[in-house]
């Protein structure tokens, strides 16, 4: 935090030397009860005076009801709330004001026209309010990304993960790693400067080596998360596979509560990948209805559909293998085991059991309403099988519970003690950091009299890698990419 406080004024002065005062709609677009229009910058106090026809600013952070007028014509636009946030105690660190007006399109349009007519005041660029908050040291890049994810969150699990990151839990983890690296650098440099005077113990380098080894283990453990955070952020890719007419499309329609996929008695109706987005147990799921699989067919279009289905499920996070209950009944009545049936079924689909090991998988036996209860009882005893009838919806609750159990395993449970790594950008820089630390280890251990200045440089490079994650060392290109994902009023 101390380093951030030192950097902030320099960054702010460098970036906003001539950026002016900005405004934007911070509430949702479209007709609504209340629209919040935010203004930030040096001219914010003048905006308040001109928009309220008053020379007195409202008390800080207290809502007051005012007549809000057009700055050019003085014609009344609306009666609404005005909130004054003097810098640096505001979201952006600058003077800010918010106008809470009625959310009709005409009111918002008049507010935009009025604000845009004031000299030095302009419409904000996407993400510019948050960008100013970053430059003012109000948040680092991980918190910025968490805020963006929080705005985009569609499920409860996504909200919790994004809130942890926006609240700075991931930032704390990375800043703690960076602080440990800085201490290592300081100790090595102290050894270089003072070892000859015997003011520094010879065990310092050994201690640094142990600290570096611990850091490598800690970062590697953080990286070895099976991409749970990234999966939770983007959605769990789930492929439904099985023979033609086992009920894959009916299952998608059942979960969607609408006709997403075409359902007919004709085998091979689904030819392409049909994706739909779902919230199951609070987790985001991208459900893919795929073409029915079979070992051979002469239909050129169906061959292409099967090829696409196989390509998709090889990249999926979760596989749902659907089985026709009547096919299973016929096989088991011949005295064969379920394991033999499964091998035979997969062969008929043109895939092998190893294909199921590419992702977590679950088995659903569909059309259970067509079988007598006496036959269903022994099937229920087979491990890892869930019975379902898409026609009657029998077993749907059990299916959703089983899917949720798999989703919990795939997405993890982020907490303050163990926040998820949620961005590919973070993963890349952490890997680079580990690479620099391992170079330090190899250099120090591989040389009889290592040049400690060179060794220290490897540690400095590792520190820079962590700094690129939080924004302690920023580049405009990275910042532009991150902030461009925000809406205008954020």
Domain boundary among 107, 138, 169: 138
Does residue 286 form part of some domain?
yes
Percentage, residues of the chain above pLDDT 70: 88
Confidence of residue 405 (pLDDT cuts 50, 70, 90): very high
Give the separation between CA 308 and CA 319, rounded to whole angstroms. Answer: 15
Give the separation between CA 315 and CA 410, rounded to whole angstroms. Answer: 14
Residues 115 and 170 in one domain: no
Residues 203 and 337 in one domain: no
Residue 145 has a pLDDT of: 93
Does residue 70 form part of some domain?
yes
Residue 1 has a pLDDT of: 38
Residues 201 and 242 in one domain: no
Does residue 477 form part of some domain?
no
Does residue 270 form part of some domain?
yes
Residues 60 and 157 in one domain: no
Residues 373 and 430 in one domain: no
Domain boundary among 87, 105, 138: 138
Here the CATH number for the domain that contains residue 128 is 3.30.1360.120
Structural domain of residue 69, as residue ranges? 1-138
Which of 108, 89, 128, 82 is CA-nearest to residue 490? Answer: 128
Residues 451 and 429 in one domain: yes
Q: How much of the chain is helix, strand and coil, in % rounded to 5?
A: 50, 15, 35
Bond before 165 cis per omega within 30 degrees: no
Residues 402 and 449 in one domain: no
Here the CATH number for the domain that contains residue 453 is 1.20.120.430
Residues 29 and 67 in one domain: yes
Query: Is this prediction's pTM over 0.85?
Result: no
Residues 97 and 129 in one domain: yes
Confidence of residue 269 (pLDDT cuts 50, 70, 90): low
Residues 248 and 385 in one domain: yes
Residues 40 and 95 in one domain: yes
Structurally, how many domains does the chain consist of? 3
Give the separation between CA 252 and CA 290, rounded to whole angstroms. Answer: 10
- pLDDT of 156-189, one tens digit each? 999 999 999 999 999 999 999 998 998 888 888 8
pLDDT of residue 329 exceeding 70, the answer is yes
């Amino acid at each position: 935090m101390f380093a951030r406080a030192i950097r902030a004024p320099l960054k702010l002065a460098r970036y906003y030397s001539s950026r002016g005062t900005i405004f934007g709609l911070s509430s949702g677009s479209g007709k609504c009860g209340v629209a919040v229009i935010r203004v930030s910058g040096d001219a914010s106090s003048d905006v308040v005076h001109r928009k309220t026809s008053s020379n007195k600013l409202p008390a800080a952070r207290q809502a007051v009801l005012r007549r809000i007028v057009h700055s050019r014509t003085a014609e009344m636009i609306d009666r609404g709330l005005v909130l004054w946030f003097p810098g640096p105690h505001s979201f952006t660190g600058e003077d800010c004001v918010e106008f809470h007006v009625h959310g009709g399109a005409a009111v918002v349009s008049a507010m935009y026209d009025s604000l845009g007519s004031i000299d030095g005041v302009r419409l904000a660029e996407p993400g510019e309010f948050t960008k100013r908050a970053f430059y003012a040291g109000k948040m680092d890049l991980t918190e910025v990304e968490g805020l963006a994810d929080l705005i985009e969150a569609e499920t409860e699990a996504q909200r919790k993960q994004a809130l942890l990151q926006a609240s700075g839990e991931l930032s704390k983890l990375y800043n703690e790693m960076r602080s440990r690296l800085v201490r290592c650098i300081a100790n090595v440099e102290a050894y270089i400067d003072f070892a000859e005077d015997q003011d520094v113990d010879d065990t310092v380098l050994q201690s640094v080596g142990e600290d570096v080894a611990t850091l490598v283990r800690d970062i590697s453990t953080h990286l070895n998360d099976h991409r749970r955070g990234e999966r939770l952020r983007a959605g769990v890719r789930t492929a439904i596979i099985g023979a033609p007419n086992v009920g894959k499309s009916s299952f998608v329609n059942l979960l969607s509560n609408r006709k997403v996929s075409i359902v007919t008695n004709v085998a091979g109706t689904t030819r392409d990948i049909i994706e739909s987005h779902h919230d199951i147990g609070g987790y985001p799921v991208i459900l893919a209805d795929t073409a029915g699989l079979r070992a051979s067919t002469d239909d050129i279009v169906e061959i292409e559909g099967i090829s696409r289905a196989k390509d998709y499920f090889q990249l999926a996070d979760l596989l749902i293998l659907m089985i026709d209950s009547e096919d299973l009944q016929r096989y088991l009545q011949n005295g064969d085991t379920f394991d033999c049936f499964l091998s035979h079924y997969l062969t008929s689909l043109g895939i092998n059991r190893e294909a199921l090991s590419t992702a977590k998988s679950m088995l659903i036996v569909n059309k259970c309403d067509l079988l007598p209860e006496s036959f269903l009882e022994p099937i229920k005893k087979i491990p890892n099988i869930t019975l379902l009838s898409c026609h009657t919806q029998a077993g749907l609750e059990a299916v959703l519970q089983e899917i949720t159990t798999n989703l919990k395993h795939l997405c993890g449970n982020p907490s303050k003690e163990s926040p998820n790594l949620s961005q590919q950008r973070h993963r890349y820089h952490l890997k680079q950091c580990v690479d620099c630390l391992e170079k330090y280890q190899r250099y120090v251990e591989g040389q009889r009299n290592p040049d400690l200045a060179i060794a220290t440089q490897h540690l400095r490079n590792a520190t820079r890698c962590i700094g690129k994650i939080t924004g302690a060392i920023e580049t405009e290109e990275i910042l532009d990419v991150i902030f461009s994902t925000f809406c205008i009023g954020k």
